[in-house]
Structure 1
Amino acid sequence: MPRLTRAPLLALLCAGLIALGLPVATGAAAAPAVSGEEGLLRMMHLSPDTPSVDAYIDSVSDPDVGVVLPAVTYGDVSPYQVVPAGTYTVSARAAGADPASPPVLASTVTVAPGTATTIAGVGFFADLGFAVLSDDLTLPTAGQARARLVNAASTGAPLDLTLTGGTVLAGDLPFAESTDYVDVPGGAGTLTVTPSAGEPSELPVELAAGSVYTVLVLDRSDGGLTVTSVLDAASPGVVPVGGVEAGAGGTALDEGLPVGRSALAVLALTALALAVGVRLPRRGRAPRHLAS
C-alpha cells in the first residue's frame, strides 16, 4: 500500500507556513494525544493467499463514526486510527466490492479508553480469521527496544526465531501466531529464522533503542521468507497515527489571501492533516471516510 512518507509532507507544510508568514512548530509530526475517551485501532493483512480487501471499521453505537482502508494487501499495516472508545464492527470485502455487499469476514472488537489494539487478518483464505492483539506501547528502558513477533509466513512453519547475540524470541512459533513483547538490545542486528524442516535464514532487522515494534515474518513472492519491522511507538512517546479525510467541506481560507498564498495554504493544511492525522468524523458528518 504505497504511501507518501512524512518527511516530504512536513517539508511542504513548512514551505506553506513560511510563505504565509506563520511560525513553523517543531514536533509537528508527533501524533495527537489520545484522550481518556479514545483509543487506538489499526489493521494488518497477514493472510498470504487472501487477495486485496477493503477493510471497514464501523462504530456499533454511532453510524457516523467509521473508516475505510481501501485495497489492503498481504503485508500491509495501517497507521493507528484514533477512535472513540467503544465497540466496533471490523469487516473485509474484496477490493472494490460494493460496501453494501456481504463481507468476506466480520467480527467485533471493543476499544477501551487509552488502549491500542491491532486487528489482523490471519491464516489461509479457506479458514480466514481476525486475530485481536493488545498492543503495549510502553517504552523500554534506555538502550533497549521492545518487540513482539507475528508469524505470518506459511513457509516452514513452525519457526524458531533468534536475535543477534543468541536471544531466543520464539521457539516452534506456529503460522498465524504471535509472541508477547520482550525487551532486546536496540540497534541493527540479524534475526535468524529456522523453519521446522530446512536451513536457517539470517535476515537483517533494525530495532531502534527507545522504540516498540511488531516484527512480521512474511512469505516472499519468489519463495523464502522476509522480515518487516512495524513501528508501534517511539521515544519520546510518538505513536504512528493515521487520519481520516474530511470528505466534502474542509477548512475555509481567508478570502483576503492572495491566490498564490491561498494555494500554498491549501498545500500546507493538506500536509498538516496527513502528517499529524485527523480525528474520526463525529455525528453529523458523512459516515465512512478513507483513511489517510
Structure 2
Amino acid sequence: MPHHGSRTRRALRTVTAAAIVAIGFAFTPSAATAADAGTGWLRLGHLSPDTKSVDVEVTAPNGDTVLELNGVSYGDVSPYSELQSGTYTVSMVPEGSSAATAPVISADIEVPAKSAMTVVAYGPTSDLEVKAVEDDLAPPTAGFGRIRLFQASTITDSVDVETSTGLPIAKDAAAGTVTDYAEIPAGSWTLELTGGDAAASSDVDVAAGSVSTLFVLDTADGGLTILPIVDSAAVGRSPDGGVQTGGGGTAPGGSLFTAGRMHGGLEAVR
C-alpha cells in the first residue's frame, strides 16, 4: 500500500520541479462561511499547454465583474472564491489585453449553492474548451484520503495511473474527463502514470481526511506530469487566503503537502 474591470497585477511565482509545493488551509464543507445557502465556491484553472498567459474575468448577468485573475499561466489553479450561487460568464483574454479585446474563450457556468466548482480551460489553443466540474468535498473514511484524476493532457488520448504497488487509480482516462473520487489509505505514495509512449512517476503525500484532484498535464519536452491540488484538507477553515496552486505544466513531478503556505501564488482580485 503506502510507499507507504481595471486589471490589478498580482505576482505569480512559478514553482520548479526542485521546489516544494506547499498547499494548505483549503475549503471544508463545515467551514462557517459556507453555511449561507445562497453562496458557493469557484476556482479557475489554465490547463491549455500552448495557450499563453491569460487574464480571466467572471461576470454576473448584469455585466458586473465579480472576480478577476491576472497573468494566469499553464498549470495555474486559483484558490476558491466565494460567490453568490447563480449563473456567471467566465472569459479569458491574452494577458494585458485592453477591455475591448475579444475573449480567447468564453462560457456560461452555474455556481451551485453550498457547494464548490472547478472551471478550467483545457486542450490545444486551436480547440480550446471550458469544463466545469462540481467538487465533492465530503470527508473520506477515517484514516483515508479521497482523490480523483482530471485528464488534461493533449499528447495522449488516455492515461492509466496506479500506485507503485499496483493499486489502480485511473484506467483509460480519456482526455477532458474527470474520474470519480477513490479512497486510498493516508500516507506517501508513488504514482505511475502512462499514456501512449509517455510515462512518468510522481510522489504524493495523501493526508488523512483530505480530498484532492490530480491534474494530468503535459511537460515542455513532450512528456506527462501529475499536478496534485488539495480540494479540502479537513482543517476547518474557509479557502479565503488558502493556497491552491502547484508546479505548473513544466514540472516533471509534484509533491502534495497539506500544511503551510506558498507566498506569491495566484491571487484572486475581488
**TM-score using structure 2 length:** 0.75
More helix by share: 1
Is contact 1:78-1:242 (8 Å) kept?
Answer: no
Query: C-alpha offsets along residues 6-25 of structure 1, whole Å, 9 cap, x if unaligned?
Result: xxxxxxxxxxxxxxxxxxxx
Q: How does 1:67-216 map to 2 (within 5 A)?
A: 67-198=67-198, 200-216=199-215
Structure 1 segments unaligned to the other structure (5+ residues): 4-26, 244-273, 275-288
CA contact (8 A) 1:139 1:237 kept: no
SS in 2 for 1:33: helix
2:49 aligned with 1:48:
yes
Please list, as runs of the form range in 1=range in 2, the aligned pairs for 1:52-71 lying within 5 A after superposition.
Answer: 52-61=53-62, 63-71=63-71
2:221 match = 222
- Compare relative contact order (CA 8 Å, sep 6+) and give the higher one, 1 or 2: 2
1:83 partner SS: strand
Going from structure 1 to structure 2, the CA distance change for 1:239 and 1:139 (only over 3 Å counts) comes to: farther
SS of the residue 2:138 aligns to:
coil
In structure 2, C-alpha distance between the alignment counterparts of 1:38 and 1:169, rounded to whole Å: 32
Q: Give the letter aligned to residue 197 of structure 1.
A: D
Name 1:291's counterpart in structure 2: 269
Percent identity among equivalent residues? 37
Report the Cα offset of residue 87 of structure 1: 0.8
Q: Do 1:242 and 1:291's aligned partners in 2 also have CA atoms closer than 8 Å?
A: no
Query: Are the aligned partners of 1:82 and 1:242 in contact in 2 as well (CA < 8 Å)?
Result: no
Distance in 2, Cα, partners of 1:126 & 1:73: 17
Q: Distance in 2 between matches of 1:69 and 1:57?
A: 9
Question: 2:33 is paired with a residue of what secondary structure?
Answer: coil
Does the CA contact (< 8 Å) of 2:58 and 2:66 recur in 1? yes
Distance 2:194 2:55 in 1: 33
For 2:230, what is the secondary structure of its paired residue? strand
CA-based RMSD of the aligned residues comes to 2.6
Q: Scaled by the length of structure 1, what TM-score is found?
A: 0.70
Alpha-carbon shift at residue 241 of structure 1 (Å) = 3.2
Partner in structure 1 of residue 248 of structure 2: none
**Greater than 4 Å deviation, 4+ residue runs:** 29-32
Task: Choose 1 or 2 for highest CA Rg.
Answer: 1
Secondary structure of the residue that 1:126 maps to in structure 2? helix
Query: 1:158 deviation in Å?
Result: 1.5
Contact kept? 1:58, 1:90, Cα under 8 Å? yes
Within 1, Cα distance between the matches of 2:238 and 2:181?
Answer: 17
